Structure 1
Amino acid sequence: MNLNDKVVYITGGSKGIGYGVAIKLLEAGAKVAISGRTLKTVEEAAKQLDAQDRVLPLASDVSKHGDEKAAVQKILDKWGQLDVVLANAGVGYFAPVDELEDDAWHKMIDTNLSGVFHTLKASVEALKKSKGYYITLASLAGTNFFASGAGYNATKFGVVGFTQAAMLDLRKYDIKVSTIMPGSVATHFAGNEPDEKDAWKIQPEDIGELVLDLLKMNPRTLPSKIEVRPTRPDKK
């Protein structure tokens, strides 16, 4: 895929992985729409990306299908097409299952799992027209369970299964579908403040490079599920 003038939509694109991917795709010539729940935050991120009219900031809560439908329509109104979607928005709350709050459970399910469905439903007709690419951001937590991760594990296991089934459903339209499953990434996730202590982790721009590699893959070949982890774990 030649990314010059291709249109990309990234949910959760104001910081972290989504922001790192946006940087790399803009460098490659794409037009990028980024969304988040607070428009002011997304607008500030768009200014930092400093790509003039090639960045579109959008307010959307992926847990609400109507928000995602409206976001995609704004992209189509501005640029007339949609070629790549990265369903990246996510939240995490961690506690033993007997202590996990009901509200935290539903926020994770609604954002991490229902969110990828809402984003796909909102964008799939545009992707059929462009023969585009739909990518979900899962996690190694989608195949490796851990204590105090029952809710998060449930959502990420679900994202992996959802994406793989969607891949089988949509390839007849020449839509490519993949899921990326990172290990530790240097982001603000779960209240972390990235600094030198996170140097050993995957960096957001590394995921951006991976997305570029997927988009440049020969169309006959589909890496449908990609695990990626730090080369060396933190030395504690």
Structure 2
Amino acid sequence: MPRQLMSRSVNSRARVIVARLILQASCCALVMGCATTQGAAADPVARAPNAVPIDAPILETLALCPGLTVANAPMADADRRLTEYAAFAALNGVTLLRAPIAAAANPCLSSGFGPRNGRPHRGVDYHAARGAPILAAGAGEVRELTARDDFGLMVLIDHGAGVFTRYAHLDAVADGLAIGQPVDLGQPIGAMGSSGAGVRAVHLHFEVLTGDYETPKRSFGLDAVDIFVLPAPNA
């Protein structure tokens, strides 16, 4: 069920949830399994464990990836840290993590939202080591779990209130993850990878989507939203 903004204590509650769940992320990675649909990355179990200690539950700061010209980058300081970054965002009363990756994996932003190379980029890209634990950005239910040529191994979560999040190019999904399964904010759902036709760089393509899912296009008929323009809860 979606987590609604009920009071100004939502951030504290969310941080407690994430702290509890993310401590399980390393163990979860050890039992990752890949989807059996065509196009999933080969041998994900061997790559998913990173031996990265999980010592910070939430990514409190975010930087642009070093050495890259980041398309559509949010404002950043001289050290490439985002100046207006907040760990949580709110959309239609739903609380979401802006960067749904285990903080200890030290992810960075490799591409922003908007036109890129003459085409729309309907999400944001985060880079970290292969196998970095990917977390559910908010409470909800798994609506799609499949492998495609364009998005590789991907998961779509329905958070209610017409809010959805997509996680693409995964190397693996968490053992037992299935369509219809409820998930909590911060729950490990997969491992960062590079699945998909022609994808070379290890990264998470993360989309925030809104609209009516019950159309012929399903998730591909939804409207994309830039996670970095959404306000913080109770802002």
Is the pair's TM-score, using the shorter chain for normalization, greater than 0.5? no
Range of TM-score over shorter length: under 0.3
Higher relative contact order (CA 8 A, sep 6+): 2
Higher helix share: 1
Higher strand share: 2
TM-score normalised over the length of structure 2: 0.25
TM-score normalised over the length of structure 1: 0.25
